[in-house]
Amino acid sequence: MNHPENKIQEAFVKSVRQYLPRVLFTISPVENAGVKEATRRKRMGYLKGTPDLTFHEPRGRYHGLFIEAKAPGGTLSDEQKEFKELAESRGYCYKSYDNAGDMFKALVHYLALADVIK
Is the alpha carbon torsion for 84, 93, 18, 97 positive or negative?
A: positive
List the domain boundaries for the chain: 4-111
pLDDT band at 83 (very low <50, low <70, confident <90, very high): very high
Q: Which residue has the higher pLDDT, 117 or 26?
A: 26
Strands 93-97 and 65-69: parallel
The fold of 4-111 is Trna Endonuclease; Chain: A, domain 1 (3.40.1350)
pLDDT tens-digit readout, 28-62: 876 666 788 777 777 877 778 899 999 999 998 99
On whether the pTM is more than 0.75, the answer is yes
